[in-house]
Structure formats: structure tokens, C-alpha cells
Amino acid sequence: MTEPLDATFAALADPTRRAILVMLLEDDMAVTDVADPFEMSLAAISKHLGILMRAGLISQEKRGRVKWCKLEPDALRDASIWMQSFGQFEAVNLEAFEAFLEAELGGAGD
């Protein structure tokens, strides 16, 4: 796992981990509560959370004996940027794509 994108995409490749991210979209959660809907051991969920953390997709903060998990969308944004270069623009050459982006950013700004 040399590059950050490797870790991000690898983390997203597992359906359990994606489900966890969706859950965290609504609210921060304790590890035990994250594990609750899944039919696997708490230790397994703990591992998944570790992977999500190392990928930068979530952060964890311990308050008392409870460890709270929080979504961190920054890493997702990086991966999203990479993907949008393929998903939105069909087989364009680099120059045309850059020109398009410059226009896009210069105009809308949003």
C-alpha cells in the first residue's frame, strides 16, 4: 500500500466498509454500535475500522472507554477527483481536459 490512493480504493472495495461509511454519514458512532448490525465479530469490525482509519476515511477519538468514529471525507474527495477525470469526460486528451477544467473553475467558481 504505497500510495494514499491505494489505501483509499482498497478500503472502499469492501462492502462492509462501505456500509460503515454510509452509517457514519448520519452520525458519529461508537465502535460497538457500528458493529451491531453486522453478523461478524466485534474484532472483525474493529479491523475494518482500522483499515478505514489508515486510509484516512474516518477518524477515531476515545472519550472515556468509548471510541467514537467520525467520517472524514477528505480522502474520499481525493479519490473522487481521480475518478472524475474518467467518469465525466470520455477519452479526452489531457490538454482538452485541462482547458475544460480551467473554464469550469474560472466560470462557476463553485
Partner DNA sequence: CGAATGGTCAACCGAAAGGTTGAATATGCC
Partner DNA sequence: GGCATATTCAACCTTTCGGTTGACCATTCG
For the CB of residue 40, give the shortest distance to its own copies in the complex, in Å.
Answer: 15
For the CB of residue 55, give the shortest distance to its own copies in the complex, in Å.
Answer: 10
Q: Closest Cα to residue 27, out of 76, 77, 69, 60? A: 69
Q: What angle do CA 82, 14, 81 make, to 5 degrees?
A: 10
Q: How far apart are CA 10 and CA 4, in angstroms?
A: 10
Type of residue at 106: G
Size of the site for DNA (CB under 7 A): 28
Q: How far apart are CA 14 and CA 26, in angstroms?
A: 20
Question: Judged by CB under 8 A, which stretch of 37-45, 46-54, 59-67, 72-80 contacts its own copies?
Answer: 72-80
22 is a site residue for DNA (CB under 7 A): no
> Is residue 75 within 8 Å of 4, Cβ to Cβ?
yes
Residues 62 to 101 in contact with DNA, rule: CB under 7 A: 62, 64-68
47 is a site residue for its own copies (CB under 8 A): no
10 is a site residue for DNA (CB under 7 A): yes
**Binding stretches for DNA (CB under 7 A):** 1, 10, 13-14, 16, 30-33, 39-44, 46-51, 60, 62, 64-68
